[in-house]
Every structure is written in C-alpha cells, then in structure tokens.
DNA sequence: GTATTTTGTGTCTAGTTTGTGAAAAAAAAA
DNA sequence: TTTTTTTTTCACAAACTAGACACAAAATAC
C-alpha cells in the first residue's frame, strides 16, 4: 500500500501539529503550510504527490476561500475546509466552489481521519467498509450498527466510541487514550463519562455487550469471545 | 533513538550514492550491494541489523525478483522495489511475493524517505507484542496472560509485576528495584507486599509458577527452566 | 542441634475502581 | 422560542484489589 500525501494549511502551528500527528499515525504523509500564499507554493511544488488538502478558512495573507478558488482553477484535488464554530453560514457558498467536505473545530481525531479516508475512498471509487465482529456489524459508510442483523440506534458518541473500541479489538485502551481519540481535543471533563457511554452501549448490544471488557485500573477492551 | 539500517541494492553506483545520501541525511545507516548475489551475501552477513531493503528490479546476475523470493523464504523484512517507469505491470505479481511498496524511478528524495519511514512505522507500530516464555504467553496490547493457551485473569499489579519479571528474565531483581519499577513512586509501604503478589501470581501460573525463583536475601528472578 | 533471618501463605479490611440510575447541562431539532 | 435528544456530572451501591498482618515454613547462621 502506498502512502497518501495530505497538505495541511493552517496558521496555527499547534493545530498543524495536531492534525499532522493524527494523520501520521494513520500512515499518511503530511506537508504543511502556514498561510494561503505558502499553501499555493507548496501545492505547486508537490502537486503530483498531494492527494488531499485540509484548508483552514481563517488565515492571514490569503484566506482559505481564495486558496480554494485558485486551486480549483487548475485541479480537482479533494479539499476539506476547516471552519471555526459559527462560520457554517458559508457552507453552501463553499460547495459551489468545489469544497468536498467541512470539518468544524474543535473536531475529534476520529472524525478527522474518518472524513479524510471517506473522501479518498469516494474519489478512488472504493466504498463499503462493513465489518463484522462476532455478530456486531458496523457499516462505516452508513454509520450504522447491527446486532445479529437487527439495526441498533446509536448516538454520535456511542457510535464513535464503539467504533474506536472495535477498530482496536484485542487492545486494552486506557481512558486517556479513549478520550484523546474519540472526544474533541478541547474536552477536559471527567473521564468517567466514558463509563456512562460504555454502560449505554453495552445495554444496546444486549448479550453481546460482554464483548466490551472492563480492564480494571486501565480502561476497556473489545474482544469477541467464543 | 537507535539508527535503522537499510540495505540498498542497485547496479548503478550513482543511484546507490543518491539514495544513500538521502537516507544518511535522515540518520539511517546504509549498506550497499551492486547486484543480486552480493545483496544476498550482505543480507546474510548483517541479517540481524537490516530493517528494510531497497531493491532494484533490473540487475545483472540475479534480478530483484529472485532476490525477493530468496529473502522471503527466511524473513519478513520489509522490501521496497525500485522500478523504472514502464515496469508497473509487474506490481500485482510482486505484492503476492511480499513486496511492501514500490517506488518508480525517477523519484523525489522526499517520497523515498517518506515511504521508507512510513513502512518502518507500519511495521514497528503493528508489531504485536506477544511473547512466550516456556508456555506463559503475554500479550502486551491486550494485557492478557495465557498459560498453555488458557487465559489467566490477572489484576493490574499482578500483571505489571509479572511483566516486569518476564521483561527482565534471567536477571535477579531486588525488592527495591521491583518497587521502583512496578509501583508508583509515591508508595512507601512494606516491600513485602511484593511477596504477597508473587504468591498470587505463582498460584495463578500453576506448575509454571516455579519459573519465578526466590533469590533469598535479594528478591526474585524469572527464568524458564526445562 | 538451636536461634535467627527470610520467605510463603491465608485472611481481613480499608480504600479504590467501576456500574448504574437519575439529574443537570448542553446541543440539536422543531 | 420550546421541545427533544444527547452528553456529562453526580451520588451511591457493588465489586474488586492492594496491602497489612500474623503465623507457618524454610533457609541460613551459629
């Protein structure tokens, strides 16, 4: 499998580092730019490698929209816009200009990576990422969960948490790790909120709730037992 | 951080030098071979050091595919094939043989280094850390212990203590050392609490409990005896 | 041999961690 | 806005564990 290169454009270096870390963990290779002008420079230099661009809207020198317009004149490379809360009113406007997706800050690592992968999948023509774990079926495209074929309603966090556990089946996950991967990066609440969600998920999974094991003193682990 | 050794196999010395320069800049250490036969020689000589091989397809004496096949008979070391443009039709064929990645010439230094790093990450990251000590199997990711294939329930401290002993198999560990490594730094209780845990662990390990030896006047030592 | 030191082991409990239901707060939908 | 849903916090119950302790057993010293 070859690596996919993503260009991350944001004026805050902390934000760039954050995104870079998430993506590198998933084996993307990452290029950075700190403002619109640099973004265009880097883009032209590595045009043939860059398969996706993450573009902050608010930037000095040349804002995200301008960068978007310029790149769209020459390429259809997928572009995801990063917006701060409250900027959503521009969304329609953006789609016309060829924005593929929006992610609003603050976002969770999972969401970020999932959107990036979803778009790359779409562009590359692949789809349908359905996996089954001992009768628990997760359709990542439809964001649906079925237990023994019967669909279960799950809220956003419940789904994300279950997905994270399941993606890391067999691995004991600490509450810290879970918070860092499933919750937004600006969440600093009680890690026991995880327990509450676990309770609900277990309940919804019924008998199969026992696949979520408690790792006392550590956290939780998903494992299908025979 | 220790250096990673890469073996570069290519018949053109210019190409080898080029790649070597890129990699050395990134602190890899590089071994070279100018044809397939030499490649196997060098590989066998430095097998335990080499963590990745960059292998040109077109070479005199023994081509890349043959080298690949031979190495794959004895090792899963990551291999990146270097192909000239127009050779891509062989790719599928190669993946079956266990090629991890292709890079086609001409390539950019950045791509080369990025791919190498990505692969090393992938390999090191997914290394499931399961080790077996005379029938005692410890899965560090899942934090589980099996004795002769049967899973044993262990509490946090029990697991950590056993893991510590096992990671230092063959070494006599003093109670002080154990306390400093397994217990929190703020523990100032009786070091004989270790004995209590050792007792429990030995019990849970059953017959294999005797692998934990008492070092009278010192502490304990884990050693697998035949 | 006996005395002394060190380790093994069973039991007890105080303290910690997790499960859980319900309330409060926040977010989303109507 | 109001209503509904989701997320988070809280409080208490339940479950579990670490560590202490006492005495037994074993090793070592004398």
Residue B114: burial class (beta carbons within 10 Å; 0-12, 13-18, 19+): buried
So what's the pLDDT on residue A202? 97
Choose one of A85, A105, A124: the last residue of a domain. Answer: A124
Q: Are residues B69 and B158 in the same domain?
A: no
Q: Which domain holds residue B205?
A: 130-222
A130-to-A109, A118, A175, B149 alpha-carbon distances in Å: 21, 13, 26, 31
CA distance B65 to B74: 15
So what's the pLDDT on residue A113? 85
> Is residue A84 pLDDT above 80, yes or no?
no
> Is any atom of nucleic acid chain D found less than 7 Å from the CB of residue A187?
yes
> Is residue A160 pLDDT above 90, yes or no?
yes
Choose one of A82, A108, A124: the last residue of a domain. Answer: A124
Q: Are residues A16 and A120 in the same domain?
A: yes
Work out the pLDDT band at B144, boundaries 50, 70, 90. Answer: very high
What pLDDT, in 10s, does the model give residues B55-75? 988 888 888 888 888 887 767
If you average pLDDT over residues B128-141, what whole number do you get? 83
Q: Are residues B14 and B93 in the same domain?
A: yes
Record: contact A27-B142, CB cut-off 8 A: no
> Out of A76-85, B35-44, B105-114, B149-158, which region has the weakest mean confidence (pLDDT)?
B105-114
So what's the pLDDT on residue A83? 82
> Out of A40-44, B154-158, B180-184, which region has the weakest mean confidence (pLDDT)?
B180-184
So what's the pLDDT on residue A93? 60
In chain B, pLDDT over 90 holds for what percent of residues? 35
Give the residue from B79, B81, B98, B110 with the most A CB atoms within 10 Å of its CB, the best one to mutate: B110
> Is residue A1 pLDDT above 50, yes or no?
no
What pLDDT, in 10s, does the model give residues A4-37? 889 999 998 888 888 888 888 777 888 999 999 9
Strand C bases near protein CB (under 7 Å) are 6-11, 17-22
Q: Among residues B157, B133, B130, B134, which one has the least CA distance to residue B144?
A: B130
Q: Are residues A116 and A144 in the same domain?
A: no
- How near does any CA of chain B get to the CA of A51, in Å? 13
Q: Are residues B139 and B81 in the same domain?
A: no
Q: Are residues A112 and A179 in the same domain?
A: no
Q: Are residues A25 and A115 in the same domain?
A: yes
CATH number of the domain that residue A163 is part of: 1.10.10.10
Entry pTM: 0.63
Residue A89 DSSP class: G
> Is any atom of nucleic acid chain C found less than 7 Å from the CB of residue B218?
yes
So what's the pLDDT on residue A94? 61
Cβ atoms within 10 Å, residue A23: 22
So what's the pLDDT on residue A188? 84
- CA B68 to chain centroid, in Å, comes to 20
Choose one of A124, A158, A183: the last residue of a domain. Answer: A124
So what's the pLDDT on residue B53? 93
Work out the pLDDT band at B118, boundaries 50, 70, 90. Answer: confident
What is the distance in angstroms measured between the alpha-carbon CA of B143 and the sugar C1' of C17? 18
What is the distance in angstroms measured between the alpha-carbon CA of B168 and the sugar C1' of C14? 33
Work out the pLDDT band at B97, boundaries 50, 70, 90. Answer: low
So what's the pLDDT on residue B1? 37
| Count of domains forming chain A | 2
DSSP state string for chain B: -PPPEEEEE-S-HHHHHHHHHHHHHTT-EEEEESSHHHHHHHHHHSTTTEEEEEEESS-SSS-HHHHHHHHHTT----EEEEEETT-GGGHHHHHHHT--EEEEES--HHHHHHHHHHHHHHHHHT---EEEETTEEEETTTTEEEETTEEE---HHHHHHHHHHHHTTT--EEHHHHHHHHS-TT--S-TTHHHHHHHHHHHHHGGGGGGEEEETTTEEEE----
Q: Are residues A118 and A14 in the same domain?
A: yes
What pLDDT, in 10s, does the model give residues B178-209? 988 888 766 888 889 999 999 999 999 999 99
CA distance B164 to B158: 10
Residue B168: burial class (beta carbons within 10 Å; 0-12, 13-18, 19+): middle
Cβ atoms within 10 Å, residue A50: 21
- How near does any CA of chain B get to the CA of A124, in Å? 18
> Out of A210-214, A221-225, B40-44, which region has the weakest mean confidence (pLDDT)?
B40-44
**Closest residue (CA to C1') to nucleotide D8 in the complex:** A193
């Amino acid at each position: 499998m070859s690596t996919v290169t993503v260009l991350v454009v944001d004026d805050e270096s902390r934000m760039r580092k954050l995104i870079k870390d998430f993506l590198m963990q998933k084996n993307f290779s990452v290029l950075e730019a700190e403002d619109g002008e640099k973004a265009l420079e880097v883009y032209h230099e590595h045009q043939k490698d860059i398969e996706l661009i993450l573009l902050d809207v608010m930037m000095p020198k040349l804002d995200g929209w301008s960068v978007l317009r310029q790149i769209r004149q020459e390429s259809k490379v997928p572009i995801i816009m990063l917006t701060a809360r409250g900027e959503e009113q521009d969304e329609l406007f953006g789609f016309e200009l060829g924005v593929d997706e929006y992610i609003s800050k603050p976002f969770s690592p999972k969401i970020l990576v999932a959107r990036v992968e979803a778009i790359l999948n779409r562009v590359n023509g692949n789809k349908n990422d359905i996996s089954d774990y001992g009768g628990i079926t997760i359709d990542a495209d439809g964001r649906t969960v079925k237990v023994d074929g019967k669909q279960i309603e799950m809220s956003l966090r419940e789904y994300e948490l279950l997905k994270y556990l399941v993606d890391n089946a067999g691995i004991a996950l600490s509450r810290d790790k879970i918070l860092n991967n499933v919750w937004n990066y600006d969440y600093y609440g009680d890690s026991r909120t995880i327990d509450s969600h676990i309770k609900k998920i277990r309940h919804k999974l019924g008998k199969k709730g026992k696949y979520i094991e408690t790792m006392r003193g550590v956290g939780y682990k998903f494992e299908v037992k025979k």
